[in-house]
Amino acid sequence: MIVLRLLLVLLLVLAVLLITALIRTLTGEKKRSTYVPQPDQDEALALAEKLSKMVQVETVSVPETDQREKFLAFHRCLEELFPLVHERLEKTEIDGNLLYFWKGQASDRPLVLMSHQDVVPAEGQWEHAPFSGDIADGKVWGRGTSDTKCSVMAFFEAVERLLSQDYVPPQDVYLSSSCTEEWAGDGCPKLVAELKRRGVRPWLVVDEGGGIITEPIGGIHGNFAMLGVFEKGKADVLFTARSNGGHASAPKRNSPLARLGDFIHEMEHRNPFRRKLLPEVAAMFETLAPYASFPLRFVLGNLWLFKPLLLQVLPLISAQAGAMLRTTIAFTMASGSDAFNVMPQEASVGANLRFIPHQGMEESLAILRKKADKYGLEMDVRHASDYTPATDIRSEAFKTVKRTVAEVFPGCPSSPYVMTGATDARFYQEICDHVVRFAPVVYGPEQMKGMHGLNENIEYACLPGAVAFYTKLIENVGSAAPESTEQKAEEAL
């Protein structure tokens, strides 16, 4: 009888909680993203032509290879396209990496605008040749159009236009562009070291990573400015199993491949890494909730109730969203015997890990090593780096980026975002507390698919907005906006 009463009480409490969540959802404001680029077509086409010329200079970077001469050719292209930048700014070139200094009226809040010059290889059959820079169907085609010569072009163009008006920025401005980003090389660290040598500590760094993403989560339609506030760490790890080998006609138990298979199966089906809803991820869901369809709005808008459910279900719905909840491991390479009838004396698999702040590099690797020992595997960490500190989403620097988005892209909501990939921005964390990863261009499904894939392109209608964003950001860094009622309410939360 007592058990029955307890059950009834629990059901009643659950019903009250669900009704409360339902009322909050039904009475809450339903919002809609309305931003769509509507540029001057002549301006958009002129910018497309500049980006096209930059794409035509092939800048594929190869790890551990001196390619300075290749990138010097790209620098000559920049000089032709942006003559005032090269005439009036102080240029520093270090092994193909670029740093420009624009003296401002003050130096207490330096701004760094950055994006990389290099691109990944372009393999396979393309609709438009990968380094043609073709302008067709409202797009610029080619490797680097979206990742990320579009950003390089946009902030160079912004500075070029301001210089033509004899504008002096309110704060010092630096333009930073490495040529080794695609393989996590030493290009950006060299630029950071140069700034350290000069005693420069940037107030705000804006790099690639986020962007104006079309439908950032399934069921949330429209364009959203996703502002990356930190990056997960990463590692490349090799697992090796050994034996005495032998003929395949008399196989022994626990062969190298079988042990590796058991290990992979356990990691895939009984993932040992802990899920947690970080404050930045919770803020993203709460920001996006009013724009979602009803079922998703019901869940995301009531994290106080549905967080445990969300932690379990989200990885099943979206791999991208699930990766924001825990350390991930992806098995990407494998090797074994060279013949069908020979048992391998050695077999191996390679994996890529991405570390989450609540279970960082050391803890995640320790968990992995324990699992590897269970199956008699050797574990060799080839490369590892931890997650980056998060930019405070309540800081003035972050709010300056949000304000700039609101001013330049009316009707485009902005939200904090977790970078599951890696960028050069991580190197700036050593000298800057506020690093935001945001390329101010529109990335629809086609553009997301094309990055590092076939037929990379960017719709050139979004290019004028990118130039306007960098222009306005340069102006805004020197001036704090008065707090609105909405901002004050946000501070109080």
The predicted model scores a pTM of 0.89
Compute how many other C-beta atoms are within 10 angstroms of the C-beta atom of residue 29.
Answer: 5
Q: Are residues 245 and 298 in the same domain?
A: yes
User: Which pLDDT belongs to residue 105?
Assistant: 96
Calpha distance 285→63 (Å, rounded): 37
User: Which pLDDT belongs to residue 354?
Assistant: 95
Q: Are residues 291 and 174 in the same domain?
A: no
User: Which pLDDT belongs to residue 8?
Assistant: 75
Enclosing domain of residue 111: 41-231+388-480
Calpha distance 413→217 (Å, rounded): 14
Among 351, 385, 419, give the residue marking a domain's end. 385
Among 385, 407, 431, give the residue marking a domain's end. 385
User: Which pLDDT belongs to residue 349?
Assistant: 96
User: Which pLDDT belongs to residue 9?
Assistant: 67
In a domain, 449, yes or no: yes
User: Which pLDDT belongs to residue 485?
Assistant: 36
In a domain, 84, yes or no: yes
Q: Are residues 265 and 342 in the same domain?
A: yes
Q: Into how many domains does the chain fold? A: 2
In a domain, 35, yes or no: no
Q: Are residues 352 and 429 in the same domain?
A: no
User: Which pLDDT belongs to residue 4?
Assistant: 74
User: Which pLDDT belongs to residue 480?
Assistant: 57
User: Which pLDDT belongs to residue 296?
Assistant: 85
What CATH number should be reported for the domain holding residue 45?
A: 3.40.630.10
User: Could you tell me if 381 and 364 are in contact, meaning their C-beta atoms sit under 8 angstroms apart?
Assistant: no
In a domain, 137, yes or no: yes
Which residues in the chain show pLDDT less than 70? 9, 480-493
Q: Are residues 73 and 99 in the same domain?
A: yes
Nearest to 283 by CA among 425, 406, 418: 418
